[in-house]
């Protein structure tokens, strides 16, 4: 038997330990929870991402009475960024969740589908995306979505065209 071991680590920061541009990204994600359409779950998620140009793109979750048709905040922001700035890499992304009248104490982490989309975005530009997962008790920071999705599926599995 052979074994492959994957190690994964993240850093936990308090807001005062982050720099101005990191705090700006988190503040924009915090703002976006207010405009989320989360009428079914009551779990409002905001996302802000920074492009290599410095521009910030935002998104929030958009739910649907047909539940699977809903889309997460991260994919709203990433799709807008990739649709409108197809040549500019995404360098960082912040996620914040708000429920029961408060930002969550636990950091919110991207769902499996969003991790796959983040991975594609990194591969597309060959640029790691630093992810800030906000929680009132601390901000979890990981330097690449690759670390959130080990043993992942990517274009290398597909046949050559």
Residue of 38, 89, 74 whose CA lies nearest to 148 = 74
Which of helix, strand or coil describes residue 160?
Answer: coil
Asked if 77 touches ligand THU (CB under 6 A), the answer is: no
Contact (Cβ atoms closer than 8 angstroms) between residue 24 and residue 31: no
- Which residue number, 56 or 72, has a Cβ lying nearer to ligand THU? 72
Question: Is 74 a residue of the active site?
Answer: yes
- Which residue number, 4 or 102, has a Cβ lying nearer to ligand THU? 102
CB of 123 to ligand THU, least distance (A): 20
Catalytic residue among 15, 16, 24, 74: 74
Nearest 5 degrees, angle CA 32-CA 35-CA 37?
Answer: 120
Q: Which of 72, 90, 117, 131 binds ligand THU (CB under 6 A)?
A: 72
Contact (Cβ atoms closer than 8 angstroms) between residue 54 and residue 44: no
Q: Can you give the binding site for ligand THU, defined by CB under 6 A?
A: 38, 41, 43, 45, 61, 63, 70, 72-74, 95, 108, 110-111, 114
């Amino acid at each position: 038997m052979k074994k492959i071991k994957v190690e994964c680590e993240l850093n936990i920061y308090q807001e005062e330990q982050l720099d101005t541009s990191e705090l700006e990204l988190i503040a924009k994600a915090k703002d976006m929870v207010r405009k989320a359409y989360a009428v079914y779950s009551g779990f409002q998620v905001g996302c802000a991402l920074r492009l290599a140009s410095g521009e910030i793109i935002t998104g929030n979750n958009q739910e649907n009475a047909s539940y699977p048709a809903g889309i997460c905040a991260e994919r709203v922001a990433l799709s807008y960024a990739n649709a409108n700035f197809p040549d500019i890499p995404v360098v960082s992304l912040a996620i914040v969740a708000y429920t029961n009248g408060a930002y969550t104490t636990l950091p919110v982490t991207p769902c499996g589908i969003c991790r796959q989309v983040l991975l594609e975005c990194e591969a597309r530009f060959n640029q790691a995306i630093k992810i800030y997962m906000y929680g009132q008790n601390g901000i979890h920071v990981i330097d690449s979505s690759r670390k959130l999705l080990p043993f992942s599926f990517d274009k290398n599995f597909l046949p050559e065209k």
